[in-house]
Amino acid sequence: MHRTILAVAALSFAVAPSARAQLPIPSVALVGGVSHYDLSGSSGSTPIGAVRVDIPVVVAVVEGSLAAFRPQDGGSAHTYIIPEAQLQWQLFPTIVRPYVGAGLGWFKSISGSSPHGNDLTTSLSAGVRVGVPLFPISGRAEVRVRGVGGLSDHTTEWTIGGSW
């Protein structure tokens, strides 16, 4: 009986740091930055913004995102929204939490005639969340590479933001 209690106590102390940083408490983030794009022959840079919801799940974070940006194609601009889900793995459950992730979403044109009316998008991300565990406010920085309708069209997004 004593060995069982000792084993449970030891296991509790061993996983306590990661459990404390990964409580299943969703957080909302607002991020903004710049997107470098190469879409059907047009390329350039444009501002991008997104609302993201992070839900910690054991050692990973499930992130739902809705991004918007407006690239130029020739003389006209097209507005796109990008609903997306990513699974991200945080490397450390501490104040500075680097992560990598992979996701799927849609690249949806909502204004202007566009070669990308409604395409599948895949993404890879790498970033860092910075904040005291269980404190409601934190910061984040990320780079996200996105393939649009395959790998020939793509974007690279550099964002910073805050969570609560």
pLDDT by residue (tens digit) across 14-65? 544 444 345 668 999 999 999 999 988 789 999 999 999 999 988 899 999 9
pLDDT tens sequence across 126-144: 999 999 877 889 999 999 9
The pTM score is 0.81
Please give the CATH number for the structural domain made up of 2-163: 2.40.160.20
Q: Which amino acid, one-letter code, is at 135?
A: F
Q: What is the pLDDT of residue 15?
A: 47
- Residue 147's pLDDT band (cuts 50, 70, 90): very high
Provide the token pair at 68. 């918007």
- Report the mean per-residue pLDDT for the chain: 86
C-alpha to C-alpha distance for 150 and 164, rounded to whole angstroms: 34
Q: What is the pLDDT of residue 9?
A: 53
Q: What is the pLDDT of residue 96?
A: 94
Q: DSSP assignment of 82-117, as one string?
A: EEEEEEEEES-SSSEEEEEEEEEEEEEEEES--S-S
Beta carbons of 163 and 27 less than 8 angstroms apart: yes
pLDDT tens sequence across 90-103: 988 789 999 999 99
H or E element, residue 19: helix 2-21
Q: What is the pLDDT of residue 63?
A: 98
Strands 138-148 and 153-163 come out as antiparallel
C-alpha to C-alpha distance for 73 and 84, rounded to whole angstroms: 23
Domain spans, the chain: 2-163
Q: What is the pLDDT of residue 8?
A: 53
C-alpha to C-alpha distance for 88 and 27, rounded to whole angstroms: 14
Q: Which amino acid, one-letter code, is at 8?
A: V
